[in-house]
Amino acid sequence: MKITEPVLGAPCWAELGTSDPEGAAAFYSRLFGWRAETDPRPEAGGYTMLLLDDEPVAGLSPIQQEGQPVAWTMSVAVADADETAGDIRKAGGSVLMDPGDVFDLGRFAVAADPGGAVFTLWQARTFRGAARLNEPGTLCWVELATRDTAAAEAFYSSVFGWSTEGEEYVHWGVGGENFGGMVKMDERYPEGLPPHWTLYFAVLNVDAAVNTAAKLGGRVGYPAMDIPGTGRVAGLFDPQGGAFAVYTPEP
């Protein structure tokens, strides 16, 4: 992913819904060097910006409804959230929360693809999204795990105009730049696990990040491993159960 700032049609923001905002903020602040800044307005609902060198790179909010899992969610930058919500429905997806205004910052909606993988839409006004992408301490990749890759490819290509390349591992792209990938869920995935997006954050050293996460109460989802020609990755869970991955590119 070479996209370093929000681009229409590409992921522009990473947001964590968590059962323990203070605990999560402490965990990620120590892991990625973020600083947490909670909006004091009651109508903000405890929303917290996560800053890297005083620039917003992610956000977190308390769980909003009963049964909502602790999870990271990506936002896709769109020109018109209402129009895109209509496109999602036409393409076989679902809109879980209709578009609504977030102060003067932008317009936001929650959606799911035909397989049930959840993502959000962001129509920017005064806030574009992450000030920095694809560098240590920021979002650098998004990966869809789904059981029907053909349906997912048709859906995202129709709604966002994403390009695809590759067979064993499909890469998503927009404007000639790849920003994510897709894997087919097979017998390696637990039965009942729904299709989902995994967010990757860049770090200087994957193994050091895994060790730090463990010391802070996180746990390993899958151990650090090398991907030839790409870099080193590891899957992690934060103390509240939120899944994410860390990545260091090859030199």
- Of 85, 100, 124, the one marking the end of a domain is 124
So what's the pLDDT on residue 235?
A: 98
The pTM score is 0.96
Asked if 55 and 119 sit in the same domain, the reply is yes
So what's the pLDDT on residue 4?
A: 79
Q: Which structural domain, as residue segments, surrounds residue 209?
A: 139-249
- Of 62, 96, 124, the one marking the end of a domain is 124
Asked if 31 and 101 sit in the same domain, the reply is yes
So what's the pLDDT on residue 81?
A: 98
So what's the pLDDT on residue 66?
A: 85
| Parts of the chain with a pLDDT under 50 | 1
Domain CATH number, residue 201: 3.10.180.10
Sheet holding 35-38, edge to edge: 35-38, 48-52, 55-62, 11-18, 71-77, 118-124, 106-112, 94-102
Asked if 94 and 147 sit in the same domain, the reply is no
- Of 89, 124, 159, the one marking the end of a domain is 124
Asked if 101 and 58 sit in the same domain, the reply is yes
So what's the pLDDT on residue 157?
A: 98
Is residue 225, in this structure, part of any structural domain at all? yes
Nearest alpha carbon to residue 72 among 247, 248, 237: 237
So what's the pLDDT on residue 173?
A: 97
| Residue 147 to residue 149: CA distance in whole angstroms | 6
So what's the pLDDT on residue 65?
A: 84
Asked if 116 and 173 sit in the same domain, the reply is no
Is residue 3, in this structure, part of any structural domain at all? no
